[in-house]
């Protein structure tokens, strides 16, 4: 299959939209059987580093419907490391489908209160795990850190080799790791990043800083003459539709309309639906400044497992 597919621009003024804009989607969700989209790219350099450090245990963090945790568990099933996951919030007697898959893949789950979870590597639960096991390699939440960013820069190179000179790329953001990696690649065009988090205004600086850090040691003359990173990044913090994993009535309506016309390109309810909605809205308002746009699907669809099946319009009846 082709990883780049056209999107039908459905609206009351559909004909005029197609006349003015061309929107395609990079199907990252179809890339990897166990860690789709950005997930494998964020994990790969961490796994290499864990092996280099001769770690016996690899541990990471995530929520009960985390795309990262699901990909982590599926990937480590076939790799000779013990896998440990710190799960945000108390584990309930009935695990989520995402966590059930992880247990079936051999991952050891550790619950963490929300307050302790926010402490990350300094939390009580990570201290306990480090005391229990020797030589634990920790992957940051979401597969982040500079190694995760580096993997996403590699991914940008792969996408660039497939794309057809789009004027801009669009990507959703949680931790900002993927956006930083895409931004860091010299072939990436203007990059529009839509955060799924409420109050993420300061994330733009983080994205630029991460991108600059991984490029700092590799600057060449050819890279130096490229457009400055901060000038090709367009960060949007107002499209969260009420906050993380929340949906406004307008977003729900859009999801159903999009699925009706693009049923073969499923979006997730937490990240990609919101950024796609923002792009559609800008196009309908005539404020989107590009003729040809590539929307990068970051791959995770675990979010739908937190909603009733009937609320997912991409599932055939």
Q: Which residues are catalytic?
A: 66
Q: Are 287 and 192 in contact (CB under 8 A)?
A: no
**And the tokens for 304?**
């739908």
Query: Does an H or E element contain 147, and which?
Result: helix 145-162
Please list, residue by residue across 120-132, b when 16 or more beta carbons sit within 10 angstroms of its beta carbon and e when fewer do: eeebebbeebeee
Query: In the block, which residue shows the tokens 């926010």?
Result: 118
Query: In the block, which residue shows the tokens 């190179």?
Result: 157
Q: DSSP for 64-126? A: TT-HHHHHHHHHHTTSSSEEEEEEEBPPPSS--HHHHHHHHTTPEEEEE-HHHHTTGGGSHHH
Question: How many residues are given for the chain?
Answer: 317
């Amino acid at each position: 299959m082709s990883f780049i597919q056209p999107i039908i621009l459905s609206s009351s003024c559909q004909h005029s939209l197609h006349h003015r804009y061309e929107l395609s989607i990079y199907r990252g969700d179809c890339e990897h059987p166990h860690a789709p989209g950005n997930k494998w790219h964020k994990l790969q350099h961490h796994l290499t580093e864990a092996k280099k450090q001769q770690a016996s245990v690899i541990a990471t963090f995530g929520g009960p419907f985390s795309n990262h945790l699901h990909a982590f568990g599926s990937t480590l099933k076939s790799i000779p490391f013990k896998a440990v996951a710190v799960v945000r919030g108390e584990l309930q007697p009935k695990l989520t489908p995402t966590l059930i898959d992880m247990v079936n893949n051999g991952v050891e789950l550790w619950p963490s209160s929300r307050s302790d979870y926010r402490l990350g590597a300094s939390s009580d639960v990570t201290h306990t795990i480090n005391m229990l096991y020797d030589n634990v390699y920790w992957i940051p939440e979401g597969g982040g850190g500079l190694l995760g960013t580096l993997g996403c820069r590699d991914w940008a190179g792969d996408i660039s080799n497939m794309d057809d000179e789009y004027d801009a790329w669009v990507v959703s953001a949680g931790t900002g790791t993927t956006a930083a990696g895409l931004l860091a690649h010299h072939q990436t065009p203007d990059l529009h990043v839509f955060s799924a988090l409420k109050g993420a205004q300061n994330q733009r600086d983080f994205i630029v800083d991460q991108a600059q850090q991984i490029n700092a040691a590799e600057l060449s003359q050819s890279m130096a003459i490229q457009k400055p990173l901060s000038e090709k990044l367009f960060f949007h913090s107002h499209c969260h539709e009420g906050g993380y994993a929340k949906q406004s009535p307008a977003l729900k309506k859009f999801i159903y309309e999009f699925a009706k016309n693009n049923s073969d390109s499923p979006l997730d309810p937490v990240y990609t639906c919101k950024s796609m909605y923002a792009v559609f809205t800008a196009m309908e308002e005539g404020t989107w400044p590009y003729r040809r746009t590539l929307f990068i699907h970051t791959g995770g669809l675990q979010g739908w497992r937190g909603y009733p099946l009937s609320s997912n319009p991409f599932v055939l009846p």
